[in-house]
Amino acid sequence: MIPAHRGPLVRTVASGILVAIAVIASMHALTLVIDPGPWLTVGTTGVILVSSTSCVVRYVLIRAAVDRAAVRRAAGQGPSADRAADRASGSASFVATAAGVVVAFWFILARYGGPGQRFEPFVGPDSLDQVIERFRQATETMSTQVAPVGPGEAISMVAVGGTLLVLLVTDSLAGARMPGFAGVPLLLLWTPPLTLIGEVQWPVFVISVTAMLLLLTVDPVGVTPGRHSESDSAAVRRAQRFRSWITALTSVAVAATSLGVATGMASLPALAGTWNQLISTPSDTVELSSELDMRQPLSARSTSTVLTYTIGEDDTPGPLRVMTLTAFDGVQTRRAVSEGGLADFDSSTVLAPDGESAVGEARQMDIEIDQLTGTELPLPLEPRSIDVAGDWAYDAIRDEVRGSDGTEPGAEYNVAVIDRELTPERLRSTPASGDPRSAGYTEVPETEHRDEIASYASAVAGDAPTRFDAAVALQNHLRSGEGFAYNPDADYRGSSDTVWDFLQNKEGYCTQYALSMMVMARSLDIPARIGIGWLPGRPDGQGGYRVTGQDSHAWPEIYFPTVGWVRFEPTPQVQTGPLPSYANPGAGSAPSASPTPTRAADVPTQQPTRAPEQSDPAASAGGSSEGSDMTDRTLPGWAWAVAIIIGLGVLGGAAWLLLRRRTEAEVLDPERAWSRVLALLAEQDVRLGPSVTLRRAPAFIADEVHTRTGTPLPDDVAERLTALADAAEEERYARHASPPTAEELEELTEAVTTELTEALARKP
């Protein structure tokens, strides 16, 4: 708690410390979308360095302005000295921010402008070129990977640079006597996790908000740093101390309340996050459901770690599948294909459906179960051999490994994955006909728009020369063409044909994309099914990968004779990252092998039959909506560009306000005029006691002048002093006040302060 009447050093340092604490805390919100790493230390160092520079420059300039004002007051130029101090404080804020910008720019160039990861204090044009190149790399990473992204140099540079930008804007607002707005730029650091993950860590919220509330006690709006003219009255000081205590106690109450709410929400299952779609988490564990529902919007998913695994350094991890689903009635997908019988196996058995050929070299994966329960074992999609303890058996029809006891936290198993070496050429060369041993993979549900869906699929991929090209055409159409967008809030409750409505609305998450591609492929007589499991997860910083509940996913699989089931990825890149190499869009665009990209005019359209959105919370929570989806967690480059534009806009707005404040003359009122007189008297060590009222003040001041100088105060000076006191008293207490004009007050105040200075300067 720093009352407003404290000097410029204490207030400037306190303000800088609180701003730095709030920014550093808010920077940690980015750890939800960027894996923790050395960038946190770099960012903290940069914040401390830039904040210290700004504080030192601001204090030096304000101190110099205060000293100059004191000299001018001693020369009898009290009012003009106050106005000069006001202008100087505004200039100090500008110069301090400019100095911070220079240091921040140098810091980014020095840390990220070199060819390696060292700090190079001597920067030049090459450093700027390297920073620009890393920004380009970061933009590419943010547009192709899902959050949380790895803490590479390019991403780290963007995170640290964004943090320093927020610091500069926040510090500028605090230094410009606008602490009430200083917390707004912090939202720029909260926006990525809020929009991509849907949360901000409660410590970030508590620390940031508390620091911003305490900032109000350091520099209340309307008080110029280093100027005491409005705080020399004992009553004013008491009011300022009271206000500081109230604000400080409010910040403590907010922190305590936030902590209590966060703890309570974490302890209440109903509030801690429900997984009533794909995943249900009654406790800390995660379990996949054996059904998908296309109607419900995507709900929140657990952030608990499902499993961790390690893989060869040069190997690229792929999805881990838990189960496959086949039957679809237009709304829900279920396991309907009959089981092929469970077979025992050992660590030397290669597990793969009939017809799949493993031709590549084996690569090792070591998997450890964390918070995952279920009767199926998460496995790579390729043929594999498994060394696992317990009672497990293999279903060759569904390509699942199931056990009676299921998975338990802490269980470990080893997998030797044998790639099929899938390529576009190999998939194109498979026989044109041939289906899996079980029926049901080409069945299309009898829905209202079954024929329209078939026509739609034919328009997109009906002319494809091979099954592979048809699959790629369907995938590309949904993934990157015709305006489809990833939207976890897509709601198709009440729809009579969810696939058709999705194809018309063009908004959804992985359940809609996967099931729609499956139905369209089946409409073209191509065997298709759905795989449910987990995306590869993110590096854990210790040489392995961590998969969380938010990595749950669903994808379609197409059957190729002599090769087996092959995964495709119609869900947009914003959710899933890059395509598998064999399903790359370029593979399906060769002139001789792929259909011409479908134009919007060639695809049948019809107004969707989606019913009005339901508002009944029970319907949303109680529906069977287990879908294998995850929140849109991509870190798009445009989001950072918008954040930078907003930050620059805020900084420009603050500059405009300061310029306007400097150019606008202060409108003098009786209270300010009387405060100037009191400030002048305080400099001469003449202070009115708490019992001296405005009506008695002129006589008290005249007595003090007579006592000190031995000469009575001239009558004309006493009359003008009484006029000022009467005007202040009338403004405070009169129901209908008629104060002098600003020009009259300016002339009266100037005369009184000048004459009082001369009177007190006389020696007895």
| Residues 209, 214, 215, 216, CA torsion sign | positive
Report whether pLDDT(643) > 60: no
Number of H helices, E strands in the chain: 20, 19
Residue 4's pLDDT is: 44
Q: Which helix (H) or strand (E) holds 634?
A: none
Cα–Cα dist 727/6, whole Å: 29
Q: Is the pLDDT of residue 439 over 50?
A: yes
pLDDT tens, position by position, 47-77: 999 999 998 888 888 777 767 766 665 555 5
Statement: residue 464 has pLDDT above 80? yes
pLDDT at 169 over 80: yes
β-bridge partners, 538: 546
Greatest mean pLDDT among 409-418, 493-502, 603-612 lies in 409-418
Average pLDDT over residues 526-541: 87
Q: What is the mean pLDDT of the chain?
A: 76
Estimate to the nearest angstrom the gap between the alpha carbon of 368 and the chain centroid.
30
With b for 16 or more beta-carbon neighbours within 10 A and e for fewer, the 22-47 pattern comes to: bbbbbbbbbbbbbbebebbebbbebb
Q: To which residue do tokens 């920067």 refer?
A: 123
Does residue 585 register a pLDDT over 80?
Answer: no
- Has residue 646 got a pLDDT over 70? no
Mean of pLDDT values over 447-455: 92
| Residue pointed to by tokens 């309907």 | 336
Q: What is the mean pLDDT of residues 560-569?
A: 90
Axis-axis angle for helices 8-27, 153-175 (nearest 10): 150
Residue 97 has pLDDT above 90, yes or no: no
Contact between 12 and 179 under an 8 Å Cβ cutoff? The reply is: no
Instruction: Give the residue carrying structure tokens 């936030």.
Output: 258
pLDDT at 557 (0 to 100)? 93
Query: Is residue 660's pLDDT more than 90?
Result: no
Does residue 341 come out as left (phi exceeding 0), alpha (psi in the -120 to 50 range) or beta?
left
- Does the pLDDT value for residue 302 go beyond 90? no
For residue 592, pLDDT over 60 is answered with no
How far apart are alpha carbons 621 and 614 in whole angstroms?
Answer: 12
pLDDT at 289: 66
Q: Give the model confidence (pLDDT) of 207-261 as tens digits.
A: 988 888 888 777 543 344 444 444 445 555 555 565 556 555 665 665 555 555 4
d(CA 565, CA 556): 10
- List pLDDT tens digits, range 138-153: 887 776 566 677 788 8
Among 160, 175, 177, 256, smallest CA distance to 209 is for 256
Range of weakest confidence among 39-53, 560-574, 600-614: 600-614
pLDDT for residue 104 is more than 80? yes
pLDDT one-digit tens code per residue, 118-144:
788 888 888 898 899 888 888 877 765
Are 676 and 79 in contact, with CB atoms under 8 Å apart? Answer: yes
Name the residue with higher pLDDT: 432 or 393.
393
Over residues 412-418, the mean pLDDT reads 91
What confidence tens digit (pLDDT) does each residue in 394-411 have? Answer: 988 888 898 877 888 889
**Three-state secondary-structure class, residue 374:** coil
Segment among 13-22, 59-68, 227-236, 728-737 with least mean pLDDT:
227-236
251 phi, psi to nearest 5 deg: -65, -40
Q: What is the mean pLDDT of residues 26-45?
A: 90
For the record, the structure tokens of 440 come out as 């049901």
pLDDT-derived band at 1 (thresholds 50, 70, 90) equals very low
